[in-house]
Amino acid sequence: MSLPATRGSGRTGWSPGFLVKLALIALVDALGVYAVLAAWSAESWGLLAAMVALLLVANWAYFSKRALPLKYILPGLAFLLVYQVYVVAYTGYVAFTNYGDGHNSTKEQAIEALLVQNERRVENSPSSPLTVVAQGDTLGFAIVSPEGVVEAGTADEPLAVVDGATVEADRVTALPGYEVLEYAAVLERQQEVTDLRVAVSEDPNDGSIRTQDARTGYVFTSTLTYDAASDTMTDTTTGATYTPNDDGQFEAADGSTLPVGWRVLVGLDNFVTAFGDDRYAGPFGKILLWTFAFAVISVASTFLLGLFLAIAFNDARLRGRRIYRTLVILPYAIPGFLAALLWSGLLNRSYGFVNQVLFGGAEIPWLTDPLLAKLAVLGVNLWLGFPYMFLICTGALQSLPGDVLEAAKIDGAGRWRTWRSITLPLLLVATAPLLISSFAFNFNNFTLIYMLTGGGPRFDDASVPLGHTDILISMVYSVSGLDGTAAKDYGLASALSIVIFLVVATISAVAFRRTRSLEEIA
C-alpha cells in the first residue's frame, strides 16, 4: 500500500489502512518472535528456521507492491505448512525412531537423568546450613559452606558464590537476586522443596544438594559415573561398564541395559513390528478389516437412508415437509461426542433405557459382546450420520435441471428409467466427493469408538489393550500409550499413522478418478 500525500500540507502522511496493517503485522511479528525464542530454547532448529522464513515472507508480502496475490494466499499457506505439512513430516520422522517410554529425550538429557535417578548421599559428607530461596516461581537453595562462603543455585543453575549476602547464626537471611522464603511459604511447596536438586557444579559427577527438612543440605552423588572421553557409564557399586548401543541405551557386556535411553533412528523397525510382531500383527489384521467394513457400511447406510428420506420429503404432495425435515436433522445438531456418550448410557446392559424399557428388563450385552458391539457402533453412527446425507441429497435433488427431467418424460422414459439413467448419475456427480470425504471421516472416526465402546470388548488372545470395535485410529491411540493402559510407543503409533494416511490417500485418489468418469457420463 502506498503512502498517500496529505493535500495542502506539503508532507506525506500515513493512511488509516496502512496504520491498521502496520499494527497487525507488528502483532504477527511479536508472536513470531516469541515462537522463534521458544524454538531456540527448545533447540528445535527446524521449527526455528520455518518460523523465521514465515516472518520474512510475511513482512515482504504485505509491504511490497509486487506480491499482491501472495497477500491473499499467505495466511492459508502458513497454516497449511504449520498444521499440515509440518505435522505430517514430523510424524514421518517419529515413525523411523524409537521415541517412547525410556527413549523420550536426547542422549545428553538421558545421561543427566541416569545420574540424577541413581543418587545416594555421600557417606560421612558434611551437612550445610540451607535456606530455601526463589527467583520468581523458580525455587533454589542457598547454603553456607564450612569456609563461610554463601553459594546459591536452582535446578537449572549450579551453585555459585553470591556476594553481599546477609548471614545470621550460620543461616542466610537475605540474598541479592533471590527472595528468602518464609517458613509458611516453604510448607506450601514442601514437595517441590524435597524433590529439588541443585547441582554442586557444572560437572554432574560432582553430585547435587538435596534436603528433607528445608534447613540442612546434604551432598548426593550418583552411583553411576559418566566418562565423556570413552562415552561410557560405570556403576561404582558393581563395577559394570555400560556403552551405547544402536537402540539408544547404555548396555553392559552381559546384555543388561540402563532404564533411561534416548531417541535414535531405527529404520523400518516400527513397520516390521506392526506387521511382523505377533502382539500387533494379529490384532492389526482384524482391526484393518473391521475399519474398512465400518467405513464402507457407515457411508452406504447413511447415504441410502438419507437419500430415501430426501426423496420422500422432496415430494410436493407431502404436507408438513418443513416439520419433518427439522425433526430429521435434530441428531445432526447434537455434538458427536455427547451423542456417543448418551448412547453408551442408553445401551448399558444393566440399567440402559433400551434394555430396561424397550426389551422389558433384558440384559442384552450391546457393548460387551463382540458382534453386538459392532452392530451398536454401526447403528449409532447411522443415527448420527444420516441427517448429513439427507441434507446433501436434498440439496442435490433440488438442484437437478428440470428441463432434462422433462425431456426424459417427453421421450417416454418411465420413473425407474429416469431415476437410473438421469437422476442417479447427476446426483452422484454432486455427492461423490462428499461420499469420499465421509469415507475418510469414518475411517478415522475416533470420537465415536472412544466414547461409545472404548474399542472394547478386548481381544481374548491379545497381549496388548486392543478390542473388537477398535479401528486403526483408536489402535494408534492405544499403542501410543496416551490412554495409560500401555507403555508409550510414539514411534510405533506414528508408523501406524503413516499406514492410515497411505490407505486413505490411495482410496481417495482412486475414488476421485471414478468421480471424473461420472462427470463424463453426466
In whole angstroms, what is the distance from residue 130 CA to residue 161 CA?
14
Neighbours of 440 (CB within 10 A): 18
Spatial contact of 362 and 399, defined as CB atoms under 8 Å apart: no
Tell me how far apart the alpha carbons of residues 39 and 391 are, in angstroms, rounded to a whole number: 45
Report the number of secondary-structure helices (H) and strands (E) in the chain: 20, 17
Say whether 469 sits in a helix, a strand or coil. coil
In terms of Cβ atoms closer than 10 Å to its own Cβ (0-12, 13-18, 19+), residue 5 is exposed
Peptide linkage before 457 cis (omega within 30 of 0): yes
* Average pLDDT of span 215-227: 88
* Short-list 506, 496, 504, CA closest to 283: 496
pLDDT in tens, 443-476: 999 999 999 999 989 988 777 788 999 999 999 9
Instruction: Tell me the per-residue pLDDT of 119-141, one tens digit each, with 9 for 90 and over.
Output: 888 777 778 899 999 988 899 99
The pLDDT-based confidence of 17 (bands split at 50, 70, 90) is: confident
Q: What integer is the mean pLDDT of 477-483?
A: 86
Secondary structure (3-state) at 441: helix
Q: How many CB atoms within 10 Å of residue 197?
A: 17
CB 413 within 8 A of CB 421: yes
Look at the domain 107-251 and name its fold.
Answer: Periplasmic binding protein-like II (2.40.430)
Q: What's the pLDDT tens digit per position in 500-517?
A: 888 888 888 887 777 766
Residue 463 neighbours by CB distance under 10 Å: 13
Task: Give the C-alpha distances (Å, rounded to integers) separating 170 from 126, 130, 145, 287.
Answer: 14, 9, 9, 68
Distance set, CA 447 to CA 75, 159, 266, 434, 470 (Å)? 29, 50, 32, 20, 11
Residues in the chain: 522
Whole-number Å distance between alpha carbons of 468 and 470: 6
Alpha-carbon distance of 280 to 243, in angstroms, equals 31
CA distance 248 to 212: 34
Report strand pairing: 160-161 vs 150-154: antiparallel
Determine phi and psi for 96, rounding to 5 degrees.
Answer: -105, 20
**Whole-number Cα distances in Å, 357 to 144, 348, 353, 361:** 75, 12, 5, 7
Band of pLDDT at residue 10, cut at 50, 70 and 90: very low
Residue 9 pLDDT grade (very low, low, confident, very high; cuts 50, 70, 90): very low
The 3-class SS string of 473-515 reads HHHHHHHHCCCCCCCCEHHHHHHHHHHHHHHHHHHHHHHHHHH
Radius of gyration from C-alpha coordinates of the chain: 33
| Burial bucket for residue 129 (CB in 10 Å: 0-12, 13-18, 19+) | middle
pLDDT of residue 212: 86
Query: To 5 degrees, how large is the angle CA 89–CA 488–CA 155?
Result: 90
Rounded to two decimals, what is the model's pTM?
0.75
Using the predicted structure, report yes or no on whether residue 5 has a pLDDT greater than 60.
no
Kindly report, as residue ranges, where domains of CATH 1.10.3720.10 are found in the chain.
275-521
Tens digits of per-residue pLDDT, 139-191? 999 998 888 889 999 988 999 999 889 888 888 889 998 999 988 889 889 98
Q: Between these two residues, 2 and 131, which has the higher pLDDT value? A: 131
In the DSSP assignment, the letter for residue 197 is -
- Determine contact, residues 392/309, Cβ cutoff 8 Å: no
- pLDDT tens track for 324-334: 888 888 888 88
What's residue 474's pLDDT?
92
State the Cα–Cα distance between residues 264 and 248, nearest whole angstrom: 6
Number of neighbours of residue 187 by Cβ within 10 angstroms: 11
Q: Is the pLDDT of residue 496 over 70?
A: yes
Beta bridge partners of 265: 97
Tell me the three-class secondary structure of 328-363, residue by residue: HCHHHHCCHHHHHHHHHHHCCCCCCHHHHHHCCCCC
Burial (CB < 10 A; 0-12, 13-18, 19+), residue 452, is buried
- The whole-number pLDDT of residue 124 equals 73
For residue 6, the model assigns a pLDDT of: 46
pLDDT of amino acid 118: 85
Locate CATH 2.40.430.10 in the chain: 107-251
Three-point CA angle 75, 77, 79, nearest 5°: 70
Say whether pLDDT at 105 is over 80: yes
pLDDT digits (tens, 9 = 90+) for 389-423: 999 998 888 887 777 777 777 777 777 877 777 87
* pLDDT band at residue 13 under the 50/70/90 scheme: low
Look at residue 251 and give its three-state secondary structure: strand
Indicate the CATH number of 275-521 among 1.10.3720.10, 3.40.640.10, 1.10.260.40, 3.10.440.10: 1.10.3720.10
Strands 11-12 and 171-174: unpaired
In DSSP terms, 129 is beta-bridged to 216
Q: How confident is the model at residue 1 (pLDDT cuts 50, 70, 90)?
A: very low
Of 420, 454, 456, 339, the residue nearest 387 (C-alpha): 339
